[in-house]
């Protein structure tokens, strides 16, 4: 089931006198292909949950339309949309056992959808097996670990066989290891069921690792939509470039003069077809090459060995971050004796942005 | 140890409260037990130097009184009828109050008003409302002219006026008035507690239930009531305890006669019986009745607790 969002907008009126209305989601248009896992990504407060709640029908859009397949569901109440929603803190009913929690959506079915008791139980056990909690059916939510509650919440959302599965920050309450494990689990479940899934997170790594597509949002406005790798390799603006990647991208003040990009006084790279102007320069940590005759000079602060890789922490006058962090293969010998390090730059790991609008400036090498 | 050295200080600070507690709570309890087990104990005779034998005669006498059995019946009837009705009404009202936004504060205040109003005063208003006549001594013509508002309403809709509380009224009519009055009087406290409970329920459960396709009544019975069960248990238990101590509400409507003028004492309750016994200087019997009442409340509360333990959920 594909999901189409057309100019979706949500405005929360401000109740305090003289305050401004909050535009939580601003003119969001997007078509989510059938059976894909889409990551909705952005910092806290950028309107991700609001978008999700509008898709599932808990909140009414101020403008725009929502289609599931060809059906306009904009004015449909949640129970008629066929959505499953997993809340950020799961919202499992505390007074019901795991089994009752999963059964509950089925018991609400009416009319021709109504199932027999045996059918309901069968479906419950099936979905419990799918998320691997079939041995916990008689426990109360309070007797489960975070990861197990998570699975129960997914099972409850899946048991009605929804057309669309929505997950609001499903991993944010889990510890680091469980998070890794559970995100793979979500991917597996999504692929086994083939349900179109929208998954909200503020953690770029999470979104990048399991999504077919990601949508990057900022203050209610969509910044970029695409395959994770494409968005990473080809960010539309400085915000997206900064938001994706760990360690984060290094940003410098720079200037283009006569087809040459300068960072400080270092002529870093020839950039053709760019008029002379001030720019912001983004260089991915993996975009630096140790080079004794390289154009970019930095002062070494320290070297961190991280197994296969070495991370060089340095400073540069023109850097907008406190430190310049580069990642190079551990096979390189790093000579720290002189106190300076020189780099040349991989052209496809360097991006130019307009220094005020922060929009991407294309260039030819 | 340093702490034990300082302990006398703690006791010193506690002393005033402990002394008052000992005089006005602990001693009366002991004294009640003592008086209950002294045959035909009377304070007046005791002051005159009379001594009393130890025994359970007071209890026997109390239980043999037809009056006492009647008091017990009326009290139990009022409890059993009013607690479920008032709890259910309070639940529905607080759920409704909780779901509306405009005027919520105002309505909350209105529902809370009876709580801060003197119950004797409320009783007198109710008595006026359920009156069939303005004056007990009136002629037939006066009776119709001064009917209370309830009978006015009944007659407006074509019914015949009921003699609710005056001479010649039936026990059933009396009890009906009492039930309405007690329920109305009990609502504010229950609404207050339940509304507080409702407001502390995480709103996400309702969002989840909506996505799960629950109807409103299913949400009420399957989500709200279980999540509210600790508060419900609290209002039910305190409701029963209060119900067994019912007294002032009867006085409020029927006056100290505890019944319609032609059948005083008809609506007497356990507490009323104890007061009567005291006023005839039969402290022995009053104490025995008080202990019986205590026993009943204890048993009912234990049953309540056992039931609620099974049905409250966390
Ligand atoms: N019910 C609401 N009333 C008013 N403002 C809201 C409401 N819900 C969310 N907002 C505002 O809308 C913006 C987006 O919120 P949300 O969608 O929850 O962000 P996210 O999930 O990305 O952290 C925030 O500025 C938030 O304060
Ligand atoms: Mg959110």
What does the pLDDT look like over B204-257, one tens digit per residue? Answer: 999 999 998 889 999 999 999 999 999 999 999 999 999 999 998 899 899 888
Residues A271 and A141 in one domain: no
Residues A113 and A152 in one domain: yes
pLDDT of B135 above 50: no
> Does any domain span residue B42?
no
CA A50, A51, A56, A60 torsion: positive or negative? positive
> Does any domain span residue B72?
yes
> Does any domain span residue A320?
yes
Measured by CA distance, the residue closest to atom 16 of ligand 1 is: A47
As a whole number, mean pLDDT of residues B13-20 equals: 94
Q: How confident is the model at residue A84 (pLDDT cuts 50, 70, 90)?
A: very high
- Say which CATH number the domain at A40 has: 3.40.50.300
Q: Which domain holds residue A291?
A: 247-361
Residues A31 and A170 in one domain: yes
> Does any domain span residue B211?
yes
Confidence (pLDDT) at B143: 46
Residues A84 and A120 in one domain: yes
Tell the residue number behind the tokens 């910044």, with chain if given.
A223
Confidence (pLDDT) at B313: 64
Residues A335 and A220 in one domain: no
**The last residue of a domain, from among A174, A203, A237:** A237
> Does any domain span residue A83?
yes
Residues 218-237 of B with CB under 8 A from A: 218, 222-223, 226-227, 229
**Interface residue ranges in chain A relative to chain B, Cβ cutoff 8 Å:** 56-58, 77-79, 83-85, 87, 89, 91, 93-96, 104-105, 108-109, 140, 142, 156, 160
> Does any domain span residue A296?
yes
> Does any domain span residue A50?
yes
3-state SS string over A216-269? EEECCEEEEEECHHHHHHCCCEHHHHHHCCCCCCEEEEEEEECCEEEECCEEEE
What is the C-alpha separation between A359 and A308, in angstroms, rounded? 34
> Does any domain span residue B191?
yes
Residues A193 and A339 in one domain: no
**Which residues sit opposite A288 in a β-bridge?**
A345
Confidence (pLDDT) at B136: 43
> Does any domain span residue A107?
yes
> Does any domain span residue A341?
yes
Reported as a single tens digit per residue, the pLDDT across A170-203 is 888 888 888 888 888 889 989 999 999 999 998 8
Any idea which of A47-56, A106-115, A222-231 has the lowest mean pLDDT? A106-115
> Does any domain span residue A242?
no
Q: Which ligand is nearest to the CA of A22?
A: 1
Task: Assess contact for A6 and A67: CB atoms under 8 A.
Answer: yes
Q: Is the ipTM of this complex over 0.85?
A: no
pLDDT of A42 above 50: yes
Residue B212 to residue A89, Cβ atoms within 8 A: no
Task: Assess contact for A85 and A56: CB atoms under 8 A.
Answer: yes
What is the C-alpha separation between A30 and A32, in angstroms, rounded? 6
Q: How many domains does chain A have?
A: 2
pLDDT of A40 above 90: yes
Confidence (pLDDT) at B115: 85
> Does any domain span residue B53?
no
Residues A213 and A297 in one domain: no
Q: What tokens were used for B288? A: 């025995």
**The last residue of a domain, from among A237, A265, A283:** A237
Confidence (pLDDT) at B295: 95
As a whole number, mean pLDDT of residues A242-265 equals: 93
Q: What tokens were used for A112? A: 């021709």
Q: What tokens were used for A164? A: 């669309």
Q: Is B314 on the interface with A (CB under 8 A)?
A: yes
pLDDT of B144 above 50: no
Q: Which domain holds residue B170?
A: 59-131+166-311
Contacts B207 to A, Cβ<8 Å: 58, 85, 87, 91
Residues A189 and A219 in one domain: yes
CA distance, residue B213 to nearest chain A CA (Å): 4
> Does any domain span residue A178?
yes
Distance A87 CA to ligand 1 centre (A): 15
Residues A91 and A206 in one domain: yes
Residue in A132, A109, A244, A260 with CA at minimum distance from that of residue A184: A132
Q: How many domains does chain B have?
A: 1
Residue A91 to residue B202, Cβ atoms within 8 A: yes
Its pTM stands at: 0.81
Taking CA–CA distances from A102, the nearest residue in chain B reads B212
Q: How many CB atoms lie within 10 A of CB A265?
A: 8
**The last residue of a domain, from among A237, A271, A297:** A237
Q: Is B119 on the interface with A (CB under 8 A)?
A: no
> Does any domain span residue B149?
no
> Does any domain span residue B138?
no
């Amino acid at each position: 089931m594909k999901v189409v969002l057309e100019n979706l907008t949500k405005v929360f009126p401000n109740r305090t006198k003289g305050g401004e209305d909050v535009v939580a989601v601003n003119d969001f248009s997007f078509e989510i292909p059938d059976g894909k896992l889409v990551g909705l990504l952005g910092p806290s407060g950028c309107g991700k949950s609001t978008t999700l709640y509008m898709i599932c029908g808990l909140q009414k859009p101020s403008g725009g339309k929502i289609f599931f397949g060809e059906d306009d569901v904009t004015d449909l109440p949640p129970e008629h949309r066929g959505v499953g929603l997993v809340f950020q803190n799961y919202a499992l009913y505390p007074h019901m056992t795991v089994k009752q929690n999963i059964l509950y959506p089925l018991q609400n079915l009416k009319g021709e959808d109504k199932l027999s008791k045996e059918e309901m139980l069968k479906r419950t056990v099936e979905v419990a097996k799918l998320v691997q909690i079939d041995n916990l059916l008689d426990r109360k939510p309070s007797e489960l670990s975070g990861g197990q509650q998570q699975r129960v919440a997914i099972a409850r959302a899946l048991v009605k066989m929804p057309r669309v599965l929505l997950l609001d920050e499903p991993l944010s309450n889990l510890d680091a290891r469980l998070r890794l494990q559970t995100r793979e689990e979500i991917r597996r479940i999504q692929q086994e069921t083939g349900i179109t899934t929208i998954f909200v997170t503020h953690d770029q790594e999470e979104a990048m690792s399991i999504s077919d597509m990601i949508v990057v949002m900022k203050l209610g406005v969509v910044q970029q939509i695409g395959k994770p790798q494409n968005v990473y390799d080809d960010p539309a603006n400085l915000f997206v470039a900064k938001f994706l990647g760990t360690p984060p991208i290094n940003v410098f003040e720079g200037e283009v003069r006569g087809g040459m990009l300068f960072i400080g006084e270092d002529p870093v790279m020839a950039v053709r077809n760019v008029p002379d102007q001030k720019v912001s320069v983004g260089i991915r940590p993996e975009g630096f090459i140790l080079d004794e005759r390289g154009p970019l000079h930095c002062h070494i602060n320290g070297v961190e060995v991280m197994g296969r890789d070495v991370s060089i922490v340095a400073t540069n006058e023109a850097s907008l971050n406190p430190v310049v962090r580069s990642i190079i293969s551990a096979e390189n010998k790093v000579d720290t004796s002189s106190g300076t390090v020189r780099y040349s730059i991989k052209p496809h790991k360097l991006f130019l942005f307009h220094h005020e609008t922060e929009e991407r400036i294309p260039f030819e090498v | 140890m340093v702490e034990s050295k300082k302990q006398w200080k703690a006791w010193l600070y506690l002393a005033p409260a402990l002394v008052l507690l000992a005089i006005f709570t602990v001693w009366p309890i002991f004294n009640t037990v003592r008086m209950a087990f002294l045959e035909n104990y009377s304070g007046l005779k005791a002051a005159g130097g009379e001594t009393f034998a130890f025994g359970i005669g007071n209890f026997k006498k109390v239980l043999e009184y037809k009056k006492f059995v009647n008091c017990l019946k009326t009290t139990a009837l009022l409890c059993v009828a009013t607690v479920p009705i008032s709890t259910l009404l309070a639940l529905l009202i607080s759920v409704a109050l909780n779901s509306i936004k405009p005027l919520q504060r105002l309505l909350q205040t209105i529902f809370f008003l009876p709580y801060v109003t003197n119950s004797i005063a409320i009783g007198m208003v109710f008595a006026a409302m359920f009156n069939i006549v303005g004056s007990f001594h009136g002629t037939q013509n006066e009776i119709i002219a001064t009917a209370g508002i309830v009978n006015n309403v009944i007659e407006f809709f074509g019914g015949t006026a009921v003699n609710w509380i005056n001479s010649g009224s039936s026990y059933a009519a009396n009890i009906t008035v009492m039930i309405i009055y007690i329920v109305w009087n009990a609502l504010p406290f229950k609404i207050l507690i339940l509304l507080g409970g409702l407001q502390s329920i995480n709103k996400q459960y309702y969002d989840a239930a909506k996505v799960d396709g629950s109807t409103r009544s299913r949400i009420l019975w399957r989500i709200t009531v279980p999540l509210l069960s600790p508060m419900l248990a609290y209002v039910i238990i305190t409701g029963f305890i209060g119900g067994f101590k019912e007294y002032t509400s009867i006085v409020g409507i029927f006056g100290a006669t505890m019944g319609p003028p032609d059948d005083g004492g008809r609506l007497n309750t356990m507490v009323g019986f104890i007061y009567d016994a005291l006023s005839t200087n039969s402290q022995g019997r009053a104490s025995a009745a008080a202990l019986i009442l205590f026993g009943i409340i204890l048993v009912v509360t234990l049953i309540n607790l056992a039931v609620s333990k099974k049905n409250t959920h966390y």
